Amino acid sequence: KQEVTQIPAALSVPEGENLVLNCSFTDSAIYNLQWFRQDPGKGLTSLLLIQSSQREQTSGRLNASLDKSSGRSTLYIAASQPGDSATYLCASKGEGSGGSNYKLTFGKGTLLTVNP
């Protein structure tokens, strides 16, 4: 059974700082790994999706890396802004159970606060 862990659970930084969020997973047999952003009481916004064959993906100030063999992914946020404050979730896509062919397994997220 896949388990996804995110460290730290919460992070508070001053505006402008670069930061790294960590995600680890126990089963390396994944199709892809995805990073999401969730604002309070809202749904999920997809940030980056890394295929199992890829090492990293970049979008603007965001860069996500994937090391499948060690079961780790990181999300790097450059020059953080107060608008980046949210919960960041990572999810691995792997074989399903209970009859589903595949499923996303989520970590509990990292609550990021960027202070002006």
Binding site for another protein (CB under 8 A): 4, 31-32, 34, 36, 41-46, 49, 51-52, 89, 91, 93, 96-109
Toward another protein, which CB reaches closer, 24 or 32?
A: 32
Q: Are 73 and 88 in contact (CB under 8 A)?
A: no
The least distance separating another protein from the CB of residue 64, rounded to whole angstroms, comes to 14
Distance CA 94, CA 103 (A): 6
Toward another protein, which CB reaches closer, 7 or 79?
A: 7
Distance CA 34, CA 16 (A): 25
DSSP 82: G
The least distance separating another protein from the CB of residue 103, rounded to whole angstroms, comes to 5
Residue 32 vs residues 17, 81, 103: alpha-carbon distances, Å: 28, 28, 11
Toward another protein, which CB reaches closer, 53 or 79?
A: 53
